[in-house]
Every structure is written in structure tokens, then in C-alpha cells.
Structure 1
Amino acid sequence: MTPTVTELLLARAGDRSTGLLFEDRRWSWAEHVTACAAHAAALAAMLRPGGHFGLLADNVPEFSFLLGGAALSGHVLVGLNPTRRGTALARDVALTDCELVFAEEKYLPFLSEASVPVLPLSSLQLAREAVVPVAATPEDLLMLIFTSGTSGDPKAVRCTHGKIACPGEMLASRFGLSAQDTVYVSMPMFHSNAIMAGWSVGLAAGAGIALRRRFSASGFLPDVRKFGATYANYVGKPLSYVLTTPERDDDADNPLKLVYGNEGAETDLAAFGARFGCHVVDAFGSTEGGVNFGRDATTPPGSLGRLLDGVAVLDPETGKPCPPAEFDANGKLLNAAEAVGELVNTGGAGFFAGYYGDPAAEAERMRGGMYHTGDLAYLDADGYCYFAGRLGDWLRVDGENLGTAPIERALVRHPAVREAAVYGVPDPRVGDQVMAALVCRAPVDPDEFAVFVAAQGDLSPKQRPRFVRVIDELPRTATHKVLKRDLAADGTRDAWTPRYPES
């Protein structure tokens, strides 16, 4: 039976074990639920029943109290992204029908164009009165979480009680977490990873939830030790950033047992586990939740894992299943045009509960009653899935469709390259030319780099970057996704053209 967040909270009402940790402060679960009830009463006094409110804040205790308060009062929390401001942030507030917005003092100027009341988070008037929880079902809306917006304006994803509570209960059970554990949450709580792979996991397990205001690579290990964290969640590049911190002989001397997330760099998963003495589990998923699966011990290098029943790789034009990938002796994909397709949940919506206020985007996502991820992939003969990029990243080079992810995986094999982003720039005649932006840990010689790329047996000549640009850092969203449209907008500025040896 699918639980609700309200039920999970009420189950902790008498629990005296540690429930929330922030900096040098501690709350038991019983105290946490009491604080949620006080915030629920405040929301009920300020909003109409079922009304929406925005929250623009870092991972502070009030975020947890207000989310729990919304669950108890029947209101909807809209997580707002502090990397957006002005008209963009006002658009997000209006789209999600917020009646008012709470914000930390430092973020109040970002909301100058909002058309609803904006209140300092510190102005909340709390009373210690008893609250009768509003009855909730797993289908009831609890939170609106915006997508990263890497390919346009962010969309507000409907996150129901069940969509938040179910992953928490599943992961807590899968990993055997209990009140003896502490869940470390440093990913931003306005995003789904922190809520569904962090906060709700701690809630379901009865574990302590240790909040970090904002992620810090240098602060990660000290926090793990300070809070006694045994579990942490991530999305994107945080593992890479932590690995760039200076190594110490005692790095593995810490309580961390398990790290769970998605979109981690393949080379970093084992390296992180070995250095910090923990197990890293990387899965495939998105804010929408339409498709989720992950790696296991049998998964070959580079693969995302085996698809679950009802998930397939379909040709974007015909809608038919793509044939298995074929490789040469060097691992080069020989039939990309036929094997690469879109990951689709053919069985329906999965955990996708729709977009708020955007029926056109929702209909596009659910074409033919199936959930379309917008992600490109291919399957090997054993059914293992490999990521090939986004549909929007699909390059058309000399009449051939190319995914960007396989090229990026090859480029980061170079010992001096820490990160690579591959994207298209217009070909003067027709289609695209391949361009790569590199973040390097050491200087790269263009001629040597060209020889290296040409030696990668799994790259065809058409996949070799026509232009290469070295930059200090890749532009990213607050959840560490690369903004390739920003890179493409710069064109070929500051780029060099590799001179590949004749093959």
C-alpha cells in the first residue's frame, strides 16, 4: 500500500531519536513533527485550503518544517530556484499559482518582480497549538518541483504524497536504513533528488536527516564525520568535485556506508567508493519519475544497467523498438543509426504525475499513453542500456545522427581532461559540426590531443570534435547539469581545430 508523507510524519510523532541535524542544532523526531505542526497552523492561517506557497531558501531547518507542515495542512510547497531571479523567478511564481512566497532575507531582492506577497522566512508566526492533520491520499499534490531548464523554461513537475513517500520507503527498505543511520542531504531541497533520495529516505527510515545549507566539496567529509552520516545522496557532479579535494591517508576513516544518486561520472563511482570506504549506487532517473532503473554488480562498464519491464528503446520516428547495438573489435558502435533511440516507458506514466500549468508539455511527454524521457540510449545484445545523450543533443553530421554522450565518455579518458561537454555548432553547408568544451587538470597540447582522439577505437571520424575549446568550468544549473545551450551560444570563440592524422 502506497504511504503518504503525512502518515510517515505521524508515525514519528512520539519518536525521541534524532530526527534533524543542522550545523550545531539537533531536533528529535518528536520535536520535528511538533515544529511541522506549528508551521502547518501558520500556513492554515495564511492560505486558502489547498493553496500553494513558494519557498526560496537553502537547506535550512525551516525547509523541512514547511514541507512537513504542508503535508499536515493540505497545502502545496513550490520549491523555487535561487539561480533564477527577476522576471524568470516571477514567471515561476505565477505559473504555479503561489498565493505568497517565503524567502530567506538574502533572497528577497530576487523576488522584486513577483506579483504576490513576499515574506521573510523569519516572519512566520508560529503557535504551539494542536493541529488536526488534513486527510491525504497518495495522489494528493504536496510539492511542485521545477525541472533543471537545460532545454528551455523549467517545467513544474507535480509531486504527490505517493511520489515523495514511496521512493523514501523503498530506498530505506532496500538499503536497510534505520534510526541508527544518518542521512546527509546537501543537494538543494528545491530539487527532486534531495527530497526523494534524501529527505524522504530519512523520514521513512526514522534516521536522522543532516542538512547542509549548500553543497561544499571541501565540507563533505568533515560533515560526514561531524554528523555521523552513514548515507548520502547526489545528482550529477558532486562526487567528481569531492574527488578533486586533496587526498589524505585517513579519508576512508569515516562512518559513510552508502552513497546513492544518479548521473555520476562512470570513472568516479569506483574511485569515490575506494577512497572513502563506501559503496556508491548510481541509478537512472529524472525529476518527472517516468523511468527509473540502476546498475548492479553484473552491469558492464559504461552501462546504466538493465531496463525494467515495460521500458524500451524506440526509434523516435517510427516508434518501433531499436535493434541491439553492434560493435567492432574496438568497441565502436557500428549501427548507431538503427540502434540509438529514445528511452520510453511503454507501460504508461510510471511515477510521472504531470506538469502543472503546462498541458502541452505534458501531452508531449505522454504521447500515445507512453512516457517519453527525451533521453537517447542503445542496448547491447545482453540487454544492458547505454546513455547516448538527449534528443536535443542529437547531432546531424554528414547525414548521420550522433549522440553526444559516447563522445564525451571517450574524451575524458585523456589524462589531462577532467570534464567534457560535446554539442553542435552549425555546419556552413548543412547540419552540425561537433564541438567540445573541456575542463582540464593540466595543459593540453592540440596536436597530442588530436592523436589521442584518433586512437580511440570506439570513435568514428565523424564523432571527432571539429572544434575544441578549453574553459575553466562548464556552465551548470543549480543541480549541476551542463547548460550546453550557453556553450553553443558562444560559437567557436577561443576554439582550436584538431589536426587529426590520416586514417
Structure 2
Amino acid sequence: MDAARFHERFGVRLVEGYGSSEGGAAIQRAPGTPPGAVGRAAPGDDLAVVDPATRRECPPARLSPAGRLLNADEAVGELVNRGGSGTFEGYWRNPEAEAARRRDGWYWTGDLFYRDADGFLYFAGRADDRLRVDSENLAAAMIEAILARWDRAAGVAVYAVPDPVAGDQVMAALALRPGAAFDPAAFAAFLDAQPDLGTKMPPRFVRIAPALPLTATNKIHRVALRRASFLCADPVWWRPAPGAPYEPLTPHALTALRAEYTRHGRTPA
């Protein structure tokens, strides 16, 4: 999306690539690379997209004619190099992190990808940003890409907040365009109109922020967002039940929600 807007504005086509900072995996753009794809594995790399829990290779992505991913729940996994760790020599005085990178003799990138039937690889976010909702694995970046289509949103961040019983729930922080206001009915209608938004993907909680928090390197400060959860000073809207209309998270509703977490021995942040 960013590359297309850049080309439209400046008339210059961006060419992207991928390389693990440690040197354990690389993807090169190849002739015929579809829009949105990074490319194919560099020569010498045996790259695969696998389910970290089962170590099995994920099924190929099913894409709509517009290139939208239709089976994110099964196609998205962690990118690994089954051929080894390349030039990666290890981490200084951090054997635990090094072992995690090299488990099973593979190099684990920590990045989420999916692969189409022709072998082209698509970036789907960081493994740390994965959510598990009702036993289904979701990639935050995939949901963000969908929410970013809403014409009132200037910035979007998706992240996990604990479910009162087990796993995660989806929360989104939205920074709106100048002059725009959050319309819960319009937002819900927008979600319903997205063909690639799976049933587990719509955010239960929506935080309306004047701006998204950033790190010192101008990346979205996801740790701060997760830490604040829905217990923040910004306005928060929520769905009391799946598919219900969005409504403000009032002090009364928040008290009842906190009690639900307490009953199950969990905390919301």
C-alpha cells in the first residue's frame, strides 16, 4: 500500500527486499513478483513458512483476485531457514536467545510470512505481534492492513489484550484524520464490508488516540499500547459481545469487566 502511494505521488517504483539482521535468511525480488510480495528465497536458503507449535509447513495462501489473503488463520507462520543459520554466529553472552534462534537446527527469523502457490513470500509482521483468539492464530499486521483502508484512519495499530478466560482479544488503536470523528456504526459497517476480515479479526476494543505512541526509532510503541490495554485515558469503544454494536467503555462497564477478569484469575494488562 505504501509503495503504491509512493509511486503514485512521485512516479518512482520502490523495489523491496528482505534480510534478517543476523544474516540467517534473505529474500530477493524476482521477475514476476506480484504486488505485495517481497520475492523468493535467495540462492542457498531453504526458506519455509511453518507453524511454530507443530513445526509443520503452513498451507499455501489463497488470494482473492485483488491479492487479498483469504486463509490467514492457516497460511501465516514463522519464516525459517531449514538450511541453517547462514552467517549468524550467535549472540554475545545470550545463549538462551541464540538457542531460540537455532532450535531444531533451523534458523528462526522471528518474522511472520505467508507463501503463495508460486513460491512468492509475503511479509505479515513480527512473531511477537501474533494473537491467539479462540485457539486461532492471527497476525496483527494483517488486521492492521485491513483497518488502514478505513478512510477516517490516519494511523492504525493492532495488538493483543488478555481474554478474561484464556488467550487474547483483539484491540486496535486508531488515530483519526484531521476533522474526523469516530462513528461506531460506520466503523462496524466498514468491518462488515471487508471480504478478507476473518470472524476472529474484528477488534473488540477500539482506542481513539490523538496520535499513536512511537519509540525512539519512530516505530509504533506496541509495548506501551499492550501495557495500557483498555485501561487508558483515551476514549475506548468496545463490543460487549461478538457482533454487537460498538459502545463506549463506561466506568460501569469497566468495573464489570474487571470483575470478570478477577473471577478467572486474570488481569486485563
Do they superpose with TM above 0.5? yes
The aligned counterpart of 1:495 is: 236
Distance in 2 of aligned mates of 1:438 and 1:294? 33
Q: What is the root-mean-square deviation of aligned Cα atoms in Å?
A: 2.5
Identical positions, percent:
50
Determine if the alignment matches structure 1 residue 291 to structure 2 residue 32: no
Residue type of the alignment partner of 1:485 = V
Q: Is the 8 A contact 2:72 2:138 kept in 1?
A: no
User: Where does the alignment leave 5 or more consecutive residues of structure 1 unmatched?
Assistant: 1-266
Displacement of 1:377: 1.6
The aligned counterpart of 2:161 is: 425
Which of 70, 73, 80 lines up with 1:333 in the alignment? Answer: 70
The aligned counterpart of 1:311 is: 47
Displacement of 1:453: 1.2
Determine if the alignment matches structure 1 residue 273 to structure 2 residue 7: yes
Residue type of the alignment partner of 2:10 = F
The aligned counterpart of 1:233 is: none
The aligned counterpart of 1:414 is: 150
Of structures 1 and 2, the larger Rg is shown by 1
Query: Counterparts of 1:247-396 in structure 2 under 5 Å?
Result: 267-295=1-29, 298-308=32-42, 309-327=45-63, 331=68, 333-334=70-71, 336-337=73-74, 339-396=75-132
SS at match of 1:406: helix
Displacement of 1:277: 4.1
Displacement of 1:361: 0.9
SS at match of 1:465: coil
SS at match of 1:436: strand
Distance in 1 of aligned mates of 2:17 and 2:3? 11
Would the alpha carbon gap of residues 486 and 328 (structure 1) be closer, same or farther in structure 2, given more than 3 Å must change?
A: same
* Deviation sequence 1:47-82 (CA, Å, 0-9, x none): xxxxxxxxxxxxxxxxxxxxxxxxxxxxxxxxxxxx
Displacement of 1:455: 0.7
Query: Counterparts of 1:233-252 in structure 2 under 5 Å?
Result: none
* Deviation sequence 1:338-366 (CA, Å, 0-9, x none): x2221011112123232222122112111
Would the alpha carbon gap of residues 286 and 272 (structure 1) be closer, same or farther in structure 2, given more than 3 Å must change?
A: same
Determine if the alignment matches structure 1 residue 403 to structure 2 residue 139: yes
Query: Counterparts of 1:6-17 in structure 2 under 5 Å?
Result: none
Q: Is the 8 A contact 1:454 1:500 kept in 2?
A: no
* Deviation sequence 1:258-277 (CA, Å, 0-9, x none): xxxxxxxxx22132234334
Query: Counterparts of 1:119-268 in structure 2 under 5 Å?
Result: 267-268=1-2
Would the alpha carbon gap of residues 285 and 440 (structure 1) be closer, same or farther in structure 2, given more than 3 Å must change?
A: farther
Would the alpha carbon gap of residues 383 and 285 (structure 1) be closer, same or farther in structure 2, given more than 3 Å must change?
A: same
SS at match of 2:238: coil
Displacement of 1:478: 3.0
SS at match of 1:496: strand
Q: Is the 8 A contact 2:174 2:209 kept in 1?
A: yes
User: Where does the alignment leave 5 or more consecutive residues of structure 2 unmatched?
Assistant: 246-269
Q: Is the 8 A contact 2:47 2:81 kept in 1?
A: yes
Distance in 1 of aligned mates of 2:19 and 2:154? 24
The aligned counterpart of 1:466 is: 204
Which of 167, 183, 192 lines up with 1:445 in the alignment? Answer: 183
Displacement of 1:431: 1.2
Displacement of 1:320: 2.7
The aligned counterpart of 1:454 is: 192
Displacement of 1:325: 2.2
Distance in 2 of aligned mates of 1:368 and 1:362? 12
SS at match of 2:78: strand
Tell me the TM-score normalized by structure 2: 0.78
Distance in 1 of aligned mates of 2:9 and 2:63? 33
Q: Is the 8 A contact 1:332 1:460 kept in 2?
A: no
Residue type of the alignment partner of 2:209 = I
Paired positions, count: 235
* Deviation sequence 1:109-141 (CA, Å, 0-9, x none): xxxxxxxxxxxxxxxxxxxxxxxxxxxxxxxxx
The aligned counterpart of 1:482 is: 220
Displacement of 1:332: 5.1
The aligned counterpart of 1:132 is: none
The aligned counterpart of 1:95 is: none
SS at match of 1:485: helix
Higher relative contact order (CA 8 A, sep 6+): 2
SS at match of 2:188: helix
Q: Is the 8 A contact 2:61 2:69 kept in 1?
A: no
Distance in 1 of aligned mates of 2:46 and 2:104? 14
Displacement of 1:459: 0.5
Displacement of 1:334: 3.1
Distance in 2 of aligned mates of 1:367 and 1:301? 33
